[in-house]
């Protein structure tokens, strides 16, 4: 998995994980979010359009990121989940905790 980081401005960052977000990759996502929060970038959009697979560890990394950003006074939201990723979010009812946005712009607006 590769995570592209796009700094939008101020505390807002867009993360774009590409590929599978599984137990082997979840620690990387957790570390990226922790580093961002430490830098004061506490508003995070995770663009899941290119994330092809999500398991429980990947889901846990998203929740850990949500917790870390909120603890720091920010927030984390998701955008554009597709296929299996959207199915996992729906089946686990995590879609209630992390409601997806149709576009990155919508997710960005939700953080403002």
Q: What is the pLDDT of residues 23-82, one digit of tens each?
A: 999 999 999 999 999 999 999 999 999 999 999 999 999 999 999 999 999 999 999 999
Range of the domain at 11: 2-111
Residues 6+ apart with CB under 8 A from 91: none
Which of the four pLDDT bands, split at 50, 70 and 90, describes residue 9? Answer: confident
Give the CATH number of the domain where residue 61 resides: 3.30.750.24
What total number of domains does the chain contain? 1
Alpha-carbon dihedral sign for residues 45, 51, 53, 58 = negative
Which of the four pLDDT bands, split at 50, 70 and 90, describes residue 10? Answer: confident
User: What pLDDT was estimated at residue 74?
Assistant: 97
Of the CA atoms within 13 Å of residue 16, those in its CB half-sphere come to: 10
User: Is the model's pLDDT at 8 over the cut of 90?
Assistant: no
């Amino acid at each position: 998995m590769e995570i592209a980081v796009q700094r939008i401005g101020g505390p807002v960052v867009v993360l774009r994980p590409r590929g599978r977000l599984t137990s082997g990759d979840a620690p990387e996502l957790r570390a990226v979010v922790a580093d961002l929060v430490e830098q004061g970038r506490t508003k995070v959009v995770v663009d899941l359009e290119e994330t092809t697979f999500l398991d429980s560890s990947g889901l846990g990394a998203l929740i850990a990121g949500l917790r870390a950003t909120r603890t720091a006074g920010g927030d984390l939201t998701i955008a554009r989940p597709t296929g299996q990723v959207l199915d996992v979010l729906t089946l686990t009812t995590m879609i209630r905790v992390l409601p997806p946005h149709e576009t990155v712009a919508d997710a960005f607006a939700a953080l403002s």
